[in-house]
Amino acid sequence: MIYVGIVGAIVLALAAVAAQASTTEAKVEKPENTNEPDVIMPTKVSRPGCEETDSCYVPHIITIKQGEQVTWLNGDVAFHSVTSGLYGNPSDLFDSGHLDPQEKFTVPFNETGTFDYFCTLHPWMVGKVIVE
């Protein structure tokens, strides 16, 4: 009889822990917009050479639909920027300013077209957003 009581108490305790765990799990939800990067500036792109393999921004050309956004991540240890236009001829559509390492920058694209961009600090770094 004592054995049945102990087993019953253990089962009730485990049920309570399981109920609490499932409640805790239910409260943890992934946000709809996690702002995951679409384009990454990888390590060592502050040195010339990445332009030879189109790896300064990865991917260096991205195609999206009208109304979508693009998020860039500075995955390098150096400062970088994401500035619309071409080096020496910025278009003033968007400019991240200097991005710290691991900092993100997001731009919504509401118009169709092809949008060139570059890094103001490293002119060999170029990329393109194509909005369909």
100, two tokens: 């710290």
Provide the 8-state DSSP code for 100.
P
Tell whether 11 and 57 lie within a shared domain.
Answer: no
| Residue that the structure tokens 């570059």 belong to | 118
45, two tokens: 């792109």
Tell whether 21 and 82 lie within a shared domain.
Answer: no
For the segment 18-33, what is each residue's pLDDT rounded down to a tens digit?
444 333 333 333 234 4
pLDDT score recorded for residue 4? 45
In the chain, how many domains are there? 2
pLDDT score recorded for residue 113? 97
Tell whether 65 and 120 lie within a shared domain.
Answer: yes
Tell whether 54 and 117 lie within a shared domain.
Answer: yes
For the segment 88-117, what is each residue's pLDDT rounded down to a tens digit?
999 999 999 999 999 999 999 999 999 999
- Which residues span the domain enclosing 116? 39-131
